Structure 1
């Protein structure tokens, strides 16, 4: 899957304003500038992107709405959100929503370094547990709890460091879709949104063994594809929430955790069949949607009581 990359390094405020207006959304920069140095880099695949930004000065901004969900993780300095007359200040360690998609925003960046992750808002609706099909709207910008904020920050860092961090090694489609769904799921878990509704009785009564069997069969047949919670629920003819109830009630897990296990089993089979002279654990892991080598190894050890490298390099590999 081809990756788009761009870099911007300038000391001109006018050039920075033009670049930001082109790369993000039309905006105006205001305020006095002493150190005008700006560095920006972007890695993007389809409708998923991660940017690193560093501003050496305080910059006021007034911008149009963004088309995607824009999450910011602060590393140094501060960002002041003054959208809608409020004033919220974010500093190092904070991860938050800049503004709901399509909503104009304004504020100030104060000598800050931060990461921006943006993704298609349609991913949120695909994870809606109510299954209504209505678009999911994010209704707040700050995470519900500090723990939720830290988890959201970890998801942004995972995308930046392990999925879109190496332009010389473009990620596979399955890897990108898995990472995008993970980030969208963590966004829904962390932020206020319109789909936080109480379950209905049918969600519990539909959580039957038959529902589970349909879902398991569909997952086994489609684990190599871009799969969402909504896809599995449609195949099982229930709402996503009913599907989640069925997995918890009968298997003690979640649909997406089971999907990960099926993909882990597939990676295990590929490691057993691979030639250690030409194959690598990283390539096989990425083929099945595992971007973080450490996380893949940990899941693999739990499932198979050995390491993926040991499986690949076993002495009984058939001669080629």
Structure 2
């Protein structure tokens, strides 16, 4: 995992840093104070930055080529792309720009968290994607509930994943990226989805689909897989896989994947050496970045805490 800190009171130094960290940009303004602070934590496929500016800074930036979400804590950020002002304030999470478009605006004495990931992840986690890639079509969440969902997800990634040793485990980071992409799809208007179930979905939702999907999950639970990969292994549509699990197993593909990973972690806890192994390391290996949630799920499934199991107290 990459960790990086930047602090400066120089506009030229800040412009050079922001251009190297994000995209080539010009910044300006005539501030009396020019304090800038940035803390970055980055792992494969995910960037989480905490930024603070104690002045008003204008920016004119190029294309990011990534989904970039800003969660504002204090102050305001004003988007002026296209000549129209859109003001974003505390408690709001917004898409700063389409990945393939430049953007302009002002940061007005603001502190915020930036999360960035590859746009292709949106398509991979979408429910029944159509023939084209899934794209976010609006910059604001469609409801206050959407803003709250995004804020909780960003806080989890920032505080429970990227600020801990869990971020050293590729499966934890990959799972976190999928979680963030799913939250973005649930919160922002988007395109690229089919309007409803198709005949192919119904035809592909048989018991054979369930069996093939379960076999694939069992063989690949240690890898970064999601609905798209499970469906491609059968092969049927993602929605057909969902219907197969719902009809024949009364669960979802991703819930089954989590149960398989929980079972693998449980098996390791049973046989691991308590003098060298740790519950958090084993949980993270199987994609569980939050120890409290893992411990609760383990106790619910097996009637014992993971720590007690590791110490041999069944």
In the superposition, the TM-score normalised over structure 1's length comes to: 0.92
Alignment of 1:81-92 (within 5 A): 81-92=79-90
State yes or no: 1:176 paired with 2:173.
yes
The residue number in structure 2 matching 1:100 is: 98
Instruction: Return the offset for 1:131.
Output: 4.4
Once the two structures are TM-superposed, the CA of residue 302 in structure 1 deviates from its matched residue by 2.1
Count how many residue pairs are aligned between Structure 1 and Structure 2. Answer: 313
Q: 1:253 to 1:144 in 2, by over 3 A?
A: farther
Give the one of 18, 21, 44 matched to 2:19: 21
The answer as to whether partners of 1:29 and 1:59 remain within 8 angstroms in 2 is yes
Shift of 1:193: 1.3
Deviation at 1:54, TM superposition (A): 0.6
The residue correspondences of 1:121-140 to structure 2 (distance < 5 A) are 121-140=119-138
Q: Deviations over 1:255-307 (max 9, x none)?
A: 11211111001111111111222211101100100011111112222222221
CA distance in 1, matches of 2:208, 2:166: 42
Does the Cα contact within 8 Å between 1:67 and 1:101 map onto a contact in 2?
yes
8 Å CA contact 2:45–2:174 kept in 1: the answer is no
Q: Is the CA contact (8 Å cut-off) linking 2:68 and 2:116 kept in structure 1?
A: yes
Once the two structures are TM-superposed, the CA of residue 169 in structure 1 deviates from its matched residue by 6.6
- Is 2:275 the counterpart of 1:272? no
Is the CA contact 1:125–1:133 (under 8 Å) kept in the aligned structure 2? no
What's 2:73 paired with? Answer: 75
2:59–2:105: 8 Å Cα contact kept in structure 1?
yes
CA deviations on 1:48-90 (whole Å, 9 max, x unpaired) are 2111101011112121111111011111111112222332222
- Gap regions ≥5 residues in structure 2: none
Structure-1 separation of matches of 2:142 and 2:313: 51
| 1:111 equivalent in structure 2 | 109
RMSD over aligned Cα atoms: 1.7
Listed one character per residue, the Cα deviations across residues 172-220 of structure 1 (whole Å, up to 9, x for unaligned) are: 1211211111111211221111123312232233222221111111101
2:141, 2:187 within 8 Å by CA — same for their partners in 1? yes
Contact 2:166 2:289 (C-alpha < 8 Å) held by counterparts: no
Structure 1 unaligned segments of length 5 or more: list them: none
Provide the C-alpha distance between the structure 2 equivalents of 1:32 and 1:248, rounded to a whole number of angstroms. Answer: 59
Partner of 2:199: 201
1:252, CA displacement in angstroms?
2.8
Q: CA deviation at 1:161?
A: 1.6
Choose 96-105 or 203-212, whichever is displaced more. Answer: 203-212
2:40 and 2:95 map into 1 onto residues whose CA distance is 18
